[in-house]
Structure 1
């Protein structure tokens, strides 16, 4: 790809930040030889100049948003970060509880072993005290059978060695038990700290959601004028289309030999990205019979996992006006799947994902009032009815 070709991208008014995408593609297995690698690095340097221009243009476009739209974006991004941190904290708490259960189990087993060893050793010592000295004196007084004396001495020697081994085993058990108890104390302390952290994150999340609700009410007031609302919706659609066109061109230029096989053979075979009811269907009226839905909206509980419908590579993961926190996955051969309105993003640009792998969590970012997932499938930039692809 020549720099003159890349400059075409800078003419777009709405283009996402996809530095990591290009880096991932240029440094991918498609660049096999050292010459290919050198050329890829040269192209990357040229591309960086264009990307800087695109980032400035993107920042300029976002600066033209209303104060309410800026507030919604800021809240959505903060909420995404907090929700992701909360998710990670909850995972750590779950792992700590599992570890604590295992440690408690080990402690119980060690205590049972300790008592068994103590009883066994106590019994041996008691027997030795009662009978040992008398038998040993009789042995010394019996001088008629030297062979028997030798065997009896050997027997007592083995018996003493066995007792020493039992004592050592008990000592080892006591040391292991102490180590387990120390781990239990450390894990319990960590769990307490994590739970306190979780409470703070939950409180922060609730506060941000409250701010989000207020911002959405303010936005609704701004959109009372139908003409301004229609203009905004069309502008949002144009921005998304510009992003998709840019991604498609980039993928075609930089990944002509990609191994992804597309979705053509998976029609009516793919799983739903999230379980729920369809609130808005593909092609139905979105606003004033002048804007149609290019995808579907699935009502779902806030925070639920949004799963990739098929394997592919994340080529966009960012906030987009009108669509909120958006993930776009390239499945190859011109097929893209889009997941919008998310509460948090679990993947970054350049990540490879498998079918069914969580890529985001359900939310209501981007100015939507109810939690749900906005879901699209596109082929060579054109919207497809997602229902035709889902089994």
Structure 2
């Protein structure tokens, strides 16, 4: 089965907004074996939307639209669908009452224009919006959702479950296996394992994410045994760089490992300014093992909070192996990470360039200090320092 995605919004073409919805929808559609044949982005113009719907109808089984379901003058997606299908726009009184109740619950004033949010082409099926106002609407192979990501995330799974039951789709027909790597460039990864990808009926791709590079294998569930043998071959080639599979993330693996080992964790950050702590706090249940995150941005803070020696800072500087080591040793938990570096764009020298970061990694009495020079913007340097320190700690925890 093929789908066409239609993203509605002039702001998506003018640079005012970045599309993330299609990435999410593609991941969810994969689970049901629905292939995206094309993705179209259109302005808030009825003729453009209708042209996109016409193309989708001619080239796919399902049209999925995002954006243009709000109450304002530029929200015309449902109007375009109704015009294409030659249907009237109607309002269900129960859905209108439910919308008004949402306004009351949020202490918002309901005005007549808001009624537009529950308008729909006659004969439509709707899906309740648990995160916002306008419901999703389905009719005649066309479904439309609000453009707000949190609202799409709420309704898209509901729609897919309903649609798969209506069309008798089997969600287990497609097998997707992700191996997540870190510390190896995409080109080198391809060079090391591309000759393994010879089996018919199995698709392969590399996906570069902010948490690592994914090696994705996709096939029919009937090829599961073949996929497992290919995965084993990949591990034999690049296993040292594979830290997890499928939904694994480094921070989740670390928290899980610490719980199993009965150990506690804390971090001391300078250039990352709280990003490392944030990665752990985002994991549900982290409070069982994560004790504290300390942002010691100044030299004075490093001395007072972590016991870094003044002589060390004067001799080697704040961005040094010695300071990173003393920072992590100043943490009182079983396990710790320290990060100190130059995020830029200013502050670099020939000896200590922008992007230079030292990361102290400690598990009990075992201490390692990693030195890296990361490229990119100030934000990217900080994010890459976090990711690398997580990878190093995860690898250390695996040893004992």
TM-score by length of 1: 0.19
Specify which structure has the higher proportion of strand.
2
Higher relative contact order (CA 8 A, sep 6+): 1
Which structure has the larger Rg? 1
TM-score by length of 2: 0.19
Specify which structure has the higher proportion of helix.
1
